Amino acid sequence: MSAPAGQGAGRGTGVRAPSRARIAEKTLRTDRWWLSPLLTVLGLSAFIVYATIRAFVRTAYWVPEYHYLTPFYSPCVSESCVEGSRHFGAWFGELPGFIPLGFLVLPFLLGFRLTCYYYRKAYYRAVWFSPPACAVAEPHAKYTGETRLPLIIQNVHRYFFYVAVVVSLINTYDAITAFHGSDGGFGFGLGNIVLTGNVILLWAYTLSCHSCRHVTGGRLKHFSKHPVRYWIWTQITKLNTRHMALAWTTLGTLVLTDLYVMLVASGAISDLRFIN
Ligand code: FES
C-alpha cells in the first residue's frame, strides 16, 4: 500500500493542513462508528489471550483413544510431545517449558493472520486508529503506510500464504488420522465432525486469500489463453468475496476445535461416538 499525503492531526499536516477546512471536532459523524473497531479489538484480544494460554499449558492437547490432536499443537515434533501425537516424528529433543510445543506452526499461523489484508484493515482501524473510521480524524501526526518498518513486513504475506498451505495439509492429515476407534480400527465421533469442519473452513480461508487469487490468475494478459487458470481464478474470486467472514469463522472454529479436544482429553466430557 502506498503512503498518501499525510493525514495526521499534527501541526500543519493532514486534516490540520492549511488547505483543509477548520473543524475542531474529531468527527462530525453521529452514528456509532466506534462499535465496529471496538468489537474487532475485543474479538482479536480474546483470541490472542486464549491461544497464548493454550500454547503454553502443554496439557490436554491429544486424545490417545481417538487420535484427536488440537491444531494449536500440530505438528508436534519434539520429545516433549506425548507418545502418539508426533505424527511426523521427533525432530527435536526435550523443549524447555517456555517454548510452546507447537512452536513450529504458531509463528506462521500468527504471521499469516497478522499480515492478512482483511486483518490489516481491521486492526489498523481498531488498534492503530489509522484512521479509526471513515471521516474520523486519526491521532497520528504522520501517515507512512506500509513503507517502513515495522509495517513494511506486511509485504511478506504472499510467503506466509505458501506456509499456510503446508499447515492446512498437516491439519488435513491430522483430521484424517483422527478417524480412529478405541480398538485401533476405524472410528467416528463428534470430534471428527469438529476437526474435519475446522479443516474445511481453514482451507476455505486459505484459498480465499488475496495472494492465492494472484497466484492463480495474476499477471495473465489473456484469460482466453489460460482457460484452466482462469476457471480456478474465478472460483477463488468467489471465495475471496467471503474472506472477512471466513477470517472470523476460522478464528472461532480454531478455538472451538481446541476447546473440544481439551475437554475430551482432560476427561471433562466424553466424545460422542457414532462408530466404535
Ligand atoms: Fe487474508 Fe491472505 S489476504 S489470508
The closest-lying atom of ligand 1 relative to the alpha carbon of residue 210 is: 3
User: Residue 212 CB: number of other CB atoms within 10 A?
Assistant: 22
Distances in Å between the Cα of 226 and the Cα atoms of 216, 222, 231, 232, 235 are 10, 7, 9, 10, 14
Share of the chain above pLDDT 70, in %: 95
Q: In DSSP terms, which residues pair with 188 in a beta bridge? A: 275
Nearest protein Cα to ligand 1, atom 2: 209
Is 78 in a helix, a strand, or coil? strand
User: Is 40 a residue whose pLDDT tops 80?
Assistant: yes
Q: What is the mean pLDDT of residues 266-275?
A: 98
- Residue 211 CB–ligand 1 contact under 6 Å: yes
Q: What is the mean pLDDT of residues 228-250?
A: 97
User: Is 3 a residue whose pLDDT tops 50?
Assistant: no
3-class SS letters over 206-275: HHCCHHHHHHHHCCCCCHHHCHHHHHHHHHHHHHHCCHHHHHHHHHHHHHHHHHHHHHHHCCCCCCCEEE
Decide: 171 and 72 in contact? Cβ < 8 Å.
no
ipTM over 0.95: yes
The pLDDT of residue 13: 67
Q: What is the mean pLDDT of residues 14-29?
A: 80
The closest-lying atom of ligand 1 relative to the alpha carbon of residue 113 is: 4
